[in-house]
Amino acid sequence: MKQISLVTAMLFLLISCGEKETKTEREVAQYSIAQFMDNEAVFGSGFSKDNSTVLVSSNRSGIYNIYTVPASGGEMKALTSSDSSSVYSISYFPNDDRILFRMDGNGDEIYKIFMMDDGEITRLTPAENARALFYGWSKDGNKLYYGSNERDSRFTDVYEMDLETFSPNMIFDNKDAYDFGGISNTGKYIAFSKALNTNDSDLYVYDIAEQSFTKINESQSGNSAQDFSVDDTYLYYTTDADGEFAVAMRYDITNNTSEKVLEKDWDIRGVGFSHNGKYRTVFINEDAANTLEITETATGKNLDLPNFDNEFITGIRFSRDETMALLNVGGSHTPTNLYAYNLENKEHVKLTDALNDEINPEDLVAAEIIRYPSFDGLDIPSVYYKPHNASADNPVPALVWVHGGPGGQSRQGFSSLIQYLVNHGYAVLAVNNRGSSGYGKTFFQLDDQNHGEGDLQDCIEGKNWLAQQPDIDGDRIGIIGGSYGGYMTMAALTFAPEEFDVGVNIFGVTNWLRTLKSIPPWWESFKDALYLEMGDPNTEDSIRLHRISPLFHTENVTKPLLVLQGATDPRVLQIESDEIVENVRKNGVPVEYVLFEDEGHGFVKKENQIKANESILEFLNTHLKGETEVN
């Protein structure tokens, strides 16, 4: 939930709230969902040992597979050809060109780690019902670190694996449900966190040889380990202990002291170092967009990066020799692409072209950040997409979009579904209701044990803001969301049944009592924190959880509903959607249900994405626009 965000790191173009763009009237082409889903989604996983190639995960085949592309640019070469489970690259091996990758079973999140050696594939984590997570390479490149819950499904222990014998060795027996935060370059220390609630956590440095813990923080606050210095003198971490936003701190392991090293007006989301410590990277979450700062550690000077018009650098990976950088670059109006950047001659090469060449980029819509007052005067930041053809003479229907989480954030990143809906004449307001991350810890905490109440009112006020816009048809506004956003959709249709005209629930929670009792066993490390935020279903909290669960109040639903669900979802079980559909249909309300047998918490296969998104548009055209044709 708050600590598992669906989520990602792709970011959007910022246009100030008051800015009005003057456009020349022109015909905007309308595209099919198949054309939008032919936009390629790519993730870079670093350079080969000699920096000649880049490892990539791409869904160009219809499902994620592994590819390589020359760092100088050129054609991508497929290394895997799965047509069922997605295959995600992790990294080249540090000292050769073997490849590490992971797979799960059709979205069940029970990951296994594999090695590819000259086309031959070996599973390195053989335990059948255990979940394995890659934690990193040793500095000398002779070992890998990973987590596995094979000993006890509730707890993720830490292992090291020698790359000659591939025999695992447990280096931390995690019987107290700590969360892994990183391992030091010498392999002497591990950073761990321990969740107190979804807002606060304790941070520790564990000495492997001494088997001893040292607690870093002395006050309740949000703390997150980031990276060790190359010489293992310091652990860098972020904390909001002394203010609303997270700052970067440096903990001296020997002296057991901390000092602030960087502060911004927004959350610092990440701090890290290149392999030998030549460069320090800092990521800042600036009003749902990304800011990247890179400094040379020896001089403190900022590194000049290429300028990408109206796009953000949303991620970076340095080569092991620190001469190259792999950049993720994207915007709200364009998918993320990969660039290879030579840090010595300052030249960069575009490696991918993710936007379908059948789509005119001028037909896509850049996001705008707006704020509106909620019922109690609280400003609600939101990401707004308005169709090019929307005007006072042509008001368009609209959707309130609610992110996952609950503590997620709607960010300025590309979404084929949002662009598809906007291209077909729907405005989309992606609200960051109270409880969303990125706007300070006070804002983040406002929905604790208040779900389906204050946060729902924020969504309703978002609808009211839309209805006041001259280019929006205030009589045709729906609500849509996935996971927690799906819950908010059902909460809106159940507890405020006359506010929205339709609802689209994408694998949303409908019975909090069951969901909180059936969370995956590997969530044990923050189960208590989740219960503190949502309520403990085994106590008197169950009374409130019953009250805010839409499943028990379906008689109130009067508006058309679309539900989408994956059968292998380990977070929101299929029965959640089965029962809400069955019960709402008893009201004689139009209800449509789309179930995917081979998907989990999020749909990753292109064929299924096309069906899901086309179903959404067809449903909206029928029940919000009053049309039936889908292109």
Query: What are the extents of the domains in the chain?
Result: 41-350, 364-511+549-625
Question: CA torsion sign, 595 to 598 to 601 to 602?
Answer: negative
Distance (Å, rounded) from C-alpha 356 to C-alpha 343?
30
CA dist 345 → 292, 342, 348 (Å): 20, 6, 9
What the block records as the tokens of 572 is: 């929101």
Coil, helix or strand at residue 13: coil
- pLDDT of 609 over the 70 cut: yes
- Residue % of the chain over a pLDDT of 90: 80
423 neighbors 395 (Cβ within 8 angstroms): no
The single-letter DSSP state of residue 397 is: E
The single-letter DSSP state of residue 582 is: H
pLDDT band at 105 (very low <50, low <70, confident <90, very high): confident
- pLDDT of 383 over the 60 cut: yes
- pLDDT of 588 over the 60 cut: yes
Better pLDDT: 536 or 592: 592
Mean pLDDT of 425-445: 95
Looking at 3.90.45.10, 3.40.630.30, 1.20.1250.20, 2.120.10.30, the CATH number of the domain 41-350 comes to 2.120.10.30
330 neighbors 352 (Cβ within 8 angstroms): no
- pLDDT of 367 over the 50 cut: yes
The pLDDT of residue 192 = 96
Instruction: Specify the CATH architecture of the domain 364-511+549-625.
Output: 3-Layer(aba) Sandwich (3.40)
pLDDT band at 200 (very low <50, low <70, confident <90, very high): confident
Choose the weakest-confidence range: 288-297, 349-358, 514-523. 514-523
- pLDDT of 217 over the 90 cut: no
Which residue, 190, 107, 178, 182, is CA-closest to 149?
Answer: 178
The pLDDT of residue 14 = 28
Distance (Å, rounded) from C-alpha 233 to C-alpha 255?
10
- pLDDT of 20 over the 70 cut: no
| pTM of the complete model | 0.88
Residue with tokens 């008001």: 395
Beta bridge partners of 318: 325
pLDDT band at 12 (very low <50, low <70, confident <90, very high): very low
User: What angle, 0 to 180 degrees and rounded to 10, lies between the N-to-C axes of helices 454-467 and 484-495?
Assistant: 80
Mean pLDDT of 304-326: 92
The pLDDT of residue 534 = 83
Mean pLDDT of 257-277: 96
The pLDDT of residue 628 = 57
Mean pLDDT of 161-171: 95
pLDDT band at 453 (very low <50, low <70, confident <90, very high): very high
CA dist 626 → 438, 463, 476 (Å): 38, 20, 10
Distance (Å, rounded) from C-alpha 111 to C-alpha 264?
36
Strands (E), 63-154: 65-70, 77-78, 87-92, 99-103, 112-117, 120-123, 132-137, 143-152
573-577 — which CB contacts under 8 Å span 24+ positions?
573/514, 573/515, 573/518, 575/514, 576/507, 576/508, 576/509, 576/510, 576/511, 576/514, 576/515, 576/551, 577/505, 577/507, 577/508, 577/510
- Residue 621 has phi, psi (to 5 degrees) of -60, -35
Better pLDDT: 326 or 530: 326
- pLDDT of 211 over the 90 cut: yes
The pLDDT of residue 371 = 98
- Say how many Å lie between the first and final Cα of the chain, rounded: 35
Residue with tokens 């927004």: 266
- Residue % of the chain over a pLDDT of 70: 95
Q: What is the mean pLDDT of the chain?
A: 91
Better pLDDT: 154 or 55: 55
CA dist 619 → 71, 142, 564 (Å): 44, 54, 12
The pLDDT of residue 22 = 40
**pLDDT tens by residue, 508-525:** 999 999 988 887 776 777
The pLDDT of residue 65 = 97
Q: Is 377 left (phi over 0), alpha (psi -120 to 50) or beta?
A: left
- pLDDT of 231 over the 60 cut: yes
